Structure 1
Amino acid sequence: MQENTDNNKPVVAVAGATGFIGRALLPALKSHCRLICLTRSAVNEEDSACGLDVSWRQCDLFSLNDIEQVLCGADYAYYLVHSMMPSARLTQGSFQDMDLILADNFARAAALTGVKQIIYLGGLVPRDQGKLSRHLDSRLEVEKTLGSYGVPVTAIRAGIIVGANGSSFSIITHLVERFKIMVLPRLMLSLTHPIALSDIIKILCYCLGRKETYNRSFDVGGPDVMTYQDMIKQTAEVMGHKPRIFTVPTILPFLTSWFLSFFMKAPKALVIPLVESLQHDMVAENRVLQKQMNLTGISFKQAVKMALIKDQGDAAAIKPPKVKKNQSPEKKVPNVRSVQRLPLPPGKDAHWVARHYSQWLPSFFKGLVRVKVDRDGSCHFYFSFMKNKSLLDLSFSEDRSFNDRPIYYITGGLMAHLNRLPHPGRLEFRGVLQNKHTLVAIHDYVPTLPWFIYNLTQAQLHLWVMHNFRRHLLLNEFTGKLREREGQEEGF
């Protein structure tokens, strides 16, 4: 980190402060900065300040309004968030789309509140190896999205980070502890470039406020490049184990994922994307940033020894205030989050998609459903044979909407419970990745149907409707491109 010549310390917000990297980063920043630590858990106002230079703020990253409030006054921000785990009782949508909407929220809020720099910890991007895995492709999408609203982004791209409680490293240590004989797929012979947690923390701190790192991405890695299989062997050696390891030509990725999830007690949502990434060699090509820092790095074996000290960093950890019981009602309420990615036809925006959806839906259901649209853009959905009782009422929020992000709040209807969660239920249409896609997202929706019945009926119906609307927009996109080409030919 650069010397701070001002008497006032810079204010730094950390999204992901309670995660593996965030917990290690906070103590390293504390002496140089005033910290705003973001947590989704409820925070008591009287407990939110952990000293003069550290404050905890509750923030739901799916809420743009929340992020705008917590980033207010921040000079810089770290983005250490990866959304692989479910965020509601029912989560419909891929982790890539969840990651994308979170990053878009953060980037918009950072631009609105005047944040000077976002520092993002992503993943190494393999060169010339064909199609990326979903995990790596998502990391790259997040990196692009964070920089799409004008705030300078410094992207640190790393492979496996070796540290206590790291997800990938924990899977390795559990394998070594539990199995004396391992049968590994040839995927485990791919190259990887691990880096010690302490080295990552030094790099993240170094980049803070350094303008020469703005709008740049940097590959980082430790001094050792090895295969995943060698990484397991060296970890076993440090731990005092001698497993017999056999390599077989192929094991289907889903079988590997199932095995790790079942025997390691690791969530499938976490394991599957990581296993998919094994097909790539993950090596930092040019460690220019570490050369500037004169950071040779800690060897893999030494990093393993440090990570195996279970209480590493606990004494210096900055822990969030304890949450009192019954302060997180969203954990008890059967809520729904659904994020679906749709194509965006040429020359259109998310506002057009929202309006078009209200027109398309009645025609798709062929008279069974009707939609009433008010002058202010609000929508009311009915069964055609029920004239007075609406299924769902969506009030258009002009104050919170833009052409690339119209938002509707759920304000009534037979299908929705209201005021059960801290945030109101809402539907939004959002243009992302420079209007390449539209995300249609439902947040904090609480259905009135019994939960078991809802899962079997309305939840499945929503996915089916979105699938058909996606097909409709793809046809619209194809037709638009065809007309555009015909117009060019006529002009020629």
Structure 2
Amino acid sequence: MNVLVTGANGYIGRRLVAALLDGGHSVIALMRDKRRFAFKEALHPNLTIVEADLLEPESMDAVPGDVDAAYYLLHSMGSSAGTFQELESRCAHRFAAWANRSRARQIIYLGGIANDERLSRHLKSRLNVEEILGRSRVPLTVLRAAIIIGSGSASFEIIRDLVEKLPFMITPRWVKTKCQPIAIVDVIFYLQAALLHEESFDRNLDIGGPDVMTYRDMLLRYAKVRGLKRYIFDVPVFTPRLSSYWLYFITSTNYSLAKSLVDSMKAEVVCGDRHIETIVPHRCLSYEEALERALVKIENNQVLSSWKDAVVSGTLRDDYLDFVGVPRHGILRDVREVPVTGDVEAARSRVWSIGGQNGWYMRWAWEIRGFLDKLIGGVGLRRGRRNPHHLVIGDALDFWRVALTDKKRDHLVLFAEMKLPGEAWLEFEFLQRDGRTHLRQTATFRPKGLIGRLYWYLLVPVHFVIFRGMCRDLAQRPEPRARIPVAG
């Protein structure tokens, strides 16, 4: 059947598209910029990518209406607190208007469990979206989930950051709030199982795993799975703002997302009914099983999608791919070119593996820059990278975003998402010169006014040391010698 998926580049959408294609469906993937969908599924014969933006009504004219069902997976959780409710409402109204013109027989929306009277602004916005979509002529199925556990999910990454980094945790009172986490694999199962399932039409269905626990329990059980000893002390003096800053500085999340999560954590998110079990019988993974599955995916470099991929994560500029073409005028540059010594393929591998757990040259200096970026509201250095050796366009790479990765032409372009008085790029190219392979590294900065120029010139001595050393390290790092067995 023909299925439309909105938010196809998001954490859920990316995985759902792959699952639907594997199930033999024809999928129309709606996204703002198709250049961001640089995955193997992009070449699938049953996938059609359509560029449209629900914030621009005229762009919806390009979305075909000949579909059997449509998934609505758009959320603005990472947007600023003052705008996400308005954005979600506008998008929902325009999608409902499109649905009324289409031949769709069902809309499936993934919302949040909302059974507690003390709902956060985020959960209230989710309910508002449900109401707006429910007023269209198309039957609506709402699947309501709490915390989603899976490799690359925001909730899982926050839990992992906290437990892995902090042997002792002074935590806010919300750690005693109950929730019912669910594995991402089970969320995808329910999304597929509800497809044109008439018993799910015009129903709000809570979905959750078998475990009801507090956030404190979730942290301690993660520690148990990882074989770590952790101690948690909760105190009543943490205000929501302090709690948000605590998550922001300790974990890889941005402040807007941290604030939304803290607001939501004040309310219990536990399934109120289990009608889903009679409509679609299914055994969900336990919390520990979901953790183990996520850790295996990370260990095997099989993270299919991440919360950092979405524009609404608050870390990604909508127009960042317009910066693939690095400017040549009105800029300041630092250019280094070094001949490659040793194995050229090893040097290429080092370039495409830069950052994340693999680190940077003079890592301590980059970590200081990341800490300073966090202090002024930036993304910092903790985002890491999805895969330690492979990059695709749109990947987060610490406080950079991959704007271009072209191994055939030996060209990698990173666009800076750190807080800067201007715009910055970091390029790596392998060139043939005088019969040898050279690595050319170019740091480009387009300053904004006098402050931007002062920023660049003040850092010239630092750039001289770091950029020169980084280029040499990538091009000429000695390979470890193979051990020669010694006869006894």
Q: Please give the TM-score of this superposition, normalised by the length of structure 2.
A: 0.60
Letter matched to residue 83 of structure 2: S
Q: Superposition pairs for residues 452-463 of structure 1, below 5 Å?
A: none
Q: Say if 1:211 and 1:219 are closer, same or farther in 2 by CA, change over 3 A.
A: same
Give the equivalent residue in structure 1 for 2:101. Answer: 112
* Aligned residues between the structures: 317
Q: Say if 1:196 and 1:204 are closer, same or farther in 2 by CA, change over 3 A.
A: same
Give the equivalent residue in structure 2 for 1:263. Answer: 250
1:146-182 deviation per Cα after TM superposition (whole angstroms, max 9, x unaligned) = 1222221100001001111111121111101111110
Q: Superposition pairs for residues 36-185 of structure 1, below 5 Å?
A: 36-43=28-35, 50-86=43-79, 93-127=82-116, 129-130=117-118, 132-185=119-172
Give the equivalent residue in structure 2 for 1:309. Answer: 296
CA distance in 2, matches of 1:78, 1:212: 17
Contact 2:78–2:260 (8 Å) recurs in 1:
no
Q: Say if 1:185 and 1:158 are closer, same or farther in 2 by CA, change over 3 A.
A: same
- 2:270 pairs, out of 253, 266, 283, with 283
Letter matched to residue 224 of structure 1: D
CA distance in 2, matches of 1:302, 1:223: 11
Q: Superposition pairs for residues 41-440 of structure 1, below 5 Å?
A: 41-43=33-35, 50-86=43-79, 93-127=82-116, 129-130=117-118, 132-311=119-298, 328-329=321-322
Contact 1:71–1:110 (8 Å) recurs in 2:
no
1:270-313 deviation per Cα after TM superposition (whole angstroms, max 9, x unaligned) = 11011011111110011111233221311100000001123599
Contact 2:71–2:109 (8 Å) recurs in 1:
yes
Contact 2:158–2:252 (8 Å) recurs in 1:
no
Contact 1:37–1:56 (8 Å) recurs in 2:
yes
Give the equivalent residue in structure 1 for 2:338. Answer: none
Contact 2:186–2:284 (8 Å) recurs in 1:
yes
Q: Say if 1:316 and 1:32 are closer, same or farther in 2 by CA, change over 3 A.
A: farther
Deviates most, 164-173 or 304-313: 304-313
Letter matched to residue 26 of structure 1: V
CA distance in 1, matches of 2:151, 2:188: 14
- In the TM superposition, residue 327 of structure 1 has moved relative to its aligned partner by 9.1
Q: Secondary structure at the match of 2:50?
A: strand
Contact 1:12–1:75 (8 Å) recurs in 2:
yes
Q: Does 1:32 align with 2:19?
A: no
Q: Secondary structure at the match of 1:149?
A: coil
CA distance in 1, matches of 2:13, 2:139: 21
Give the equivalent residue in structure 2 for 1:12. Answer: 3
Q: Say if 1:268 and 1:149 are closer, same or farther in 2 by CA, change over 3 A.
A: same
Q: Say if 1:278 and 1:179 are closer, same or farther in 2 by CA, change over 3 A.
A: same
Deviates most, 40-49 or 189-198: 40-49
Give the equivalent residue in structure 1 for 2:330. Answer: none
1:194-231 deviation per Cα after TM superposition (whole angstroms, max 9, x unaligned) = 01111111111111011221111101111100001001
Give the equivalent residue in structure 1 for 2:340. Answer: none
- In the TM superposition, residue 51 of structure 1 has moved relative to its aligned partner by 2.2
CA distance in 1, matches of 2:134, 2:273: 22
Contact 1:119–1:208 (8 Å) recurs in 2:
yes
Letter matched to residue 14 of structure 1: V
Give the gaps of 5 or more residues in structure 1.
Answer: 1-9, 321-325, 333-450, 453-492
- In the TM superposition, residue 26 of structure 1 has moved relative to its aligned partner by 1.8
CA distance in 2, matches of 1:233, 1:243: 7
CA distance in 2, matches of 1:318, 1:136: 23
Give the equivalent residue in structure 2 for 1:323. Answer: none
1:351-383 deviation per Cα after TM superposition (whole angstroms, max 9, x unaligned) = xxxxxxxxxxxxxxxxxxxxxxxxxxxxxxxxx
- In the TM superposition, residue 191 of structure 1 has moved relative to its aligned partner by 0.5
- In the TM superposition, residue 315 of structure 1 has moved relative to its aligned partner by 6.7
Contact 2:18–2:41 (8 Å) recurs in 1:
no
Q: Say if 1:313 and 1:81 are closer, same or farther in 2 by CA, change over 3 A.
A: farther
- In the TM superposition, residue 317 of structure 1 has moved relative to its aligned partner by 5.7
Q: Say if 1:313 and 1:275 are closer, same or farther in 2 by CA, change over 3 A.
A: same
Q: Secondary structure at the match of 1:55?
A: strand
Q: Secondary structure at the match of 1:308?
A: helix
Contact 1:43–1:58 (8 Å) recurs in 2:
no
Give the gaps of 5 or more residues in structure 2.
Answer: 310-318, 326-447, 450-488
CA distance in 2, matches of 1:257, 1:226: 21
CA distance in 1, matches of 2:287, 2:178: 14
CA distance in 1, matches of 2:259, 2:36: 36
Q: Say if 1:303 and 1:44 are closer, same or farther in 2 by CA, change over 3 A.
A: closer
- In the TM superposition, residue 233 of structure 1 has moved relative to its aligned partner by 0.5
CA distance in 1, matches of 2:279, 2:295: 30
CA distance in 2, matches of 1:283, 1:226: 9
Q: Say if 1:331 and 1:150 are closer, same or farther in 2 by CA, change over 3 A.
A: farther
1:72-129 deviation per Cα after TM superposition (whole angstroms, max 9, x unaligned) = 322211111111345xxxx8942111111111111111111222211000000024x3
Q: Secondary structure at the match of 2:221?
A: helix
Q: Secondary structure at the match of 2:43?
A: coil
Q: Say if 1:184 and 1:152 are closer, same or farther in 2 by CA, change over 3 A.
A: same
Q: Please give the TM-score of this superposition, normalised by the length of structure 1.
A: 0.59
CA distance in 1, matches of 2:299, 2:20: 17
Runs of 4+ deviating beyond 6 Å: 44-48, 312-316
